[in-house]
Amino acid sequence: MSDGFSASDGIDLEIQWQRLISIMDEVDNATVKTSFSTIVGESRDFACILVDAAGVSLCQSSFSPPNFCVVLPRTTKILLEAHPLDTLEEGDVLVTNDPWFGTGHLPDYVVITPVFYRGKVVAFMGTVAHLADVGGHPGDIEAFDVFTEGVRVPPAKLYEAGKENRLLFDVIGGNCRVPNLVLGDLRAIVGTHQVGARRIHEFLADNEIDDLVGLASEIHGRSERLMRERIAALPDGRYEFGLDIDGYRRIVHLHATVTIDGSDVYVDYTGTSPQMPDAAINCTYNTTFASTFYPFKCALVPTIPNNEGLFRPIHVSAPEGCILNTTFPHPVNARAKTTNNINQVLFGALWPAFGEHAQAGAGSIWPISVSGTTAEHGRFSVHVLPHGGRGAMAGMDGLPPIAFPHNSAVTPVEIWESQCPVMITEKSLLPDSAGAGRQRGGLGQVMTFKNIGSETISARVRPDKIFCAPPGLAGGRPGKTGQVIFNGTVIDRFPILPFAPGDTLTMRMPGGAGFGDPSERPRDAIARDVQEGFLTSQAADIEYGYVHPSATQGDA
């Protein structure tokens, strides 16, 4: 324990901790205000994290996606191996987008700036941001290696003592389709780090401390202790669950063995399918670790701000070469197809221990984008990120379509239609798509897109759970699988589609799975679902053995 921090004083700790978080919120705001691309500025696909001098994360901005925050400190440590602390100068900025060092796919750049105070590094400002383009093929899922997917920047100095590394700016800009957006975002991020560094200086001066060592140790120590208490409260034992997921071209099996041993948790993925040589759904260890940590954080310490102390009791292993610990240079761009299902394997294993915090399988995200050039709209590339229904929990029915397990915004229909010659002719909840249960799943939805222009454009869709349904928990039924229908034909391969005038593409997104035995669902809840049109009377009969009064009357 060093320099003027009184460990006993919980009030001081809370004030200082919250001030650090608000510094990162300011960095976050500055990023939104100064970024060039919509993916950073509007879709908020970035995170700002404060890392201590040892490369351990202290806090993050409030809006940051949780996975980024778990990965960034790991990346920082790797960057510091390539560029050790004692070689750094004021004004240096480190960067990489290597999937095995960073967040698992190329578009995510990790940018780290050392914060100097009185001649030594006291912290790092870190940002992970999904940039607008990294070159590579426009395909998504169909790839044979990471080289197909774009340009890879090995750990390097983006700025040297405050000066732009011209070489790096040249090659990053020279290998992407929208260099103004990408380089603009990178410069903006570096600017926000300067704002953050100034605030850290003020923080240190105000608190009359020379560094963050004492505070960091307090934050980490207390967070770790709490996480350990919560884990220790769970019954010791071995919990195991296996889940088939869609994969791509071939079904993939995820298998988790979770051992709770005192205040430690060991998650092992032995038994999981091998990595795919021809589909970009492989996960590097970093992403697997982050997606594994997330359900524990949500279930056990939802109110504690994210920091690395919380990670310490969680130990994750996955055999090298399995789809959750892929080896270089396997393709990784669409790893979310796999990582989105990790929480469901863990909930499958741990629901007896997690109780009301466990969530049944969700309908997943179904990204769709269209791009092309037309006289009316110019050059466009528009995407929307609709979801299926959420899974049920012990205390509540699943939510209707909403982002999970990450945060993302859904582009409004009006915005979409003003930006491209594609009309959304239908967007409605899908009756009977939810998995039955004491608590039922959230309904899935159907969306239909029609090319009303006069030229052929490109469409790209990445569905999930069209083969393997979202799994139920505690006797709850699975949600209904989804379907992609292109001009009346169900399709199951998803390279870029030529989308001709008059073509229609329908996405029937899965419903969430149920929780608990359907026979325990209250009759009035079933009646309400039938009344609202969420459930047809036939399905009510089949799934719940419930005959709606109106149906009987109709027969009579």
Partner 1 sequence: MDPISLEVMWQRLIAIADEIDTATIQTSFSTIVGESHDFGCVLMDANGHGLAQAQWSPPQFCTMLPRTTRVMLEKFRPETLAPGDVLATNDPWIGSTHLPDYNLVSPVFRNGKIVAFLGTVAHVSDVGGHLGDLEATDMFIEGTRLMPNKFYVGGRVNEVVEEFIAANCRVPDMVLGDLHAIVGTHRVGIRRIQEFMDDYDLDDIQELSAAIQDKSEAALREAISALPDGTTHYEITADGYLEPFTLKASVEIRGSQLIIDFDGTSPQQDHSAINAAFNISYATAVYPIKCMLASAIPNNDGLVRPITITAPEGSIVNCTFPAPVKARAKVIKHIPPLIFGAFADLLPNEAIAAAGGIFPFHFVGSDPRFGTFAVHMLPHGGLGATHADDGWLPAAYPHNSTVTPTEIIERQCPAIMTEKTLLTDSGGAGRRRGGPGQRITLRCTAEKPVLLTIRPDLLKFPAPGLHGGGFGLNGRVEHNGTNLTRFRPIPWNPGDDIVLTVPGGGGYGDPRARERERVLEDVALGLVSREAAETTYGQADLPTARELRIQAIRDHVHTVRGGAER
| Residue of 1, 85, 161, 167 that binds partner 1 (CB under 8 A) | 167
Enumerate residues 306-345 that contact partner 1 by CB under 8 A: 329
Q: Give the nearest distance from C-beta 329 to partner 1 in angstroms.
A: 7
Question: In this chain, which stretch among 165-173, 291-299, 351-359, 393-401 interacts with partner 1, using CB under 8 A?
Answer: 165-173
Contacts of 307 (CB under 8 A, 6+ apart): 57, 58, 59, 60, 219, 220, 223
Identify the sign of the CA torsion 414, 420, 423, 429: negative
Q: Smallest distance from the beta carbon of 153 to partner 1, in angstroms?
A: 7
154 binds partner 1 (CB under 8 A): yes
User: Cα torsion for 404, 409, 412, 416, to the nearest 10°?
Assistant: -100
Establish whether the linkage from the previous residue to 405 is cis, with ω within 30° of 0: yes
Least separation in angstroms between CB 284 and partner 1: 15
User: What is the residue whose two structure tokens read 């959304």?
Assistant: 424
Task: Verify binding: residue 385, partner 1, rule CB under 8 A.
Answer: no
Closest approach of partner 1 to the CB of residue 264, in Å: 36
Helix or strand run (H / E) with residue 211: none
59 binds partner 1 (CB under 8 A): no
Residues 6+ apart with CB under 8 A from 18: none
- Which of 148, 263 has the CB closer to partner 1? 148
Closer residue to partner 1, CB minimum distance, 41 or 135: 135
Spatial contact of 389 and 446, defined as CB atoms under 8 Å apart: no
Distance in Å, CB of 126 to partner 1, minimum: 21
Q: Which stretch binds partner 1 (CB under 8 A): 66-74, 154-162, 250-258, 465-473?
A: 154-162
Among the listed ranges 173-181, 208-216, 251-259, 421-429, the one in contact with partner 1 (CB under 8 A) is 173-181
State the number of binding residues for partner 1 (CB under 8 A): 28
**268 part of the interface to partner 1, by CB under 8 A:** no
Specify whether the CB–CB gap between 308 and 56 falls below 8 A: yes
98 is a contact residue toward partner 1 (CB under 8 A): yes
Task: Decide if 505 contacts 497 (C-beta within 8 A).
Answer: yes
Decide if 434 contacts 389 (C-beta within 8 A).
yes
Helices (H), 208-325: 213-232, 285-300
Residues numbered 115-144 forming contacts with partner 1, rule: CB under 8 A: 133, 135-139, 144
Distance between CA atoms of residues 449 and 508, nearest Å: 12
Is the peptide bond preceding residue 329 cis, with omega within 30 degrees of 0? yes
Does 374 interact with partner 1 (rule: CB under 8 A)? no
CA distance 295 to 300: 8
- Please identify, using beta-carbon distances, which residue of 165 and 536 lies nearer to partner 1: 165
Nearer to partner 1, 169 or 266 (CB): 169
Of 46-54, 168-176, 511-519, 538-546, which part binds partner 1 (CB under 8 A)?
168-176
Contact set for partner 1, span 194-233 (CB under 8 A):
none
Tokens of 452: 């009303």
**Contact predicate 99/284, CB 8 Å:** yes
380 in contact with partner 1 (CB under 8 A) = no
* β pairing state of 57-60 and 250-261: unpaired
Among 163, 177, 198, 528, binds partner 1 (CB under 8 A): 177
CA pair distance 126, 60, nearest whole angstrom: 9
In the complex with partner 1, the residue whose CB is nearer, 342 or 497, is 497
Question: CB of 389 within 8 A of CB of 402?
Answer: no
Q: Quick check: 176 binds partner 1 (CB under 8 A)?
A: yes
Question: Measured between alpha carbons, how far is 452 from 246 in angstroms, rounded to an integer?
Answer: 32
Q: Is 148 in the site for partner 1 (CB under 8 A)?
A: yes
Contact between 12 and 216 (Cβ < 8 Å): no
Q: CB of 147: closest distance to partner 1 in angstroms?
A: 4
| Interface with partner 1 in residues 404-423 (CB under 8 A) | none
Binds partner 1 (CB under 8 A): choice among 9, 147, 352, 550: 147
Tokens representing 221 are 């120590």
Q: Does 175 bind partner 1 (CB under 8 A)?
A: yes
Q: Which stretch binds partner 1 (CB under 8 A): 147-155, 189-197, 382-390, 528-536?
A: 147-155
Nearer Cβ to partner 1, position 133 or 211? 133
161 binds partner 1 (CB under 8 A): no
448 near partner 1, judged by CB under 8 A? no
Which pairing describes strands 378-384 and 368-374: parallel, antiparallel, or unpaired?
Answer: antiparallel
| Integer Cα distance of 348 and 369 in angstroms | 32
**What are the distances in angstroms from CA 511 to CA 106, 254, 483?**
31, 21, 12
Report if residue 81 touches partner 1, rule: CB under 8 A: no
Say whether residue 152 binds partner 1 (CB under 8 A).
yes
**With respect to partner 1, which residue has the nearer C-beta, 270 or 373?**
373
- Helix pair angle (179-207, 166-174), 10° resolution: 140
Distance CA(556)–CA(549), nearest Å, equals 11
- Considering only 174, 352, 533, 545, the residue that binds partner 1 (CB under 8 A) is 174
Site for partner 1 contains 486 (CB under 8 A): no
| Least gap, CB of 78 to partner 1 (angstroms) | 14
Beta strands at 93-96 and 156-160: parallel, antiparallel or unpaired: antiparallel
Contact between 124 and 165 under an 8 Å Cβ cutoff? The reply is no
Q: Is 153 in the site for partner 1 (CB under 8 A)?
A: yes
Binding flag, residue 171, partner 1 (CB under 8 A): yes
* Residue numbers at the binding site for partner 1 (CB under 8 A): 98, 133, 135-139, 144-145, 147-148, 150-154, 156-157, 165, 167-168, 170-171, 174-177, 329
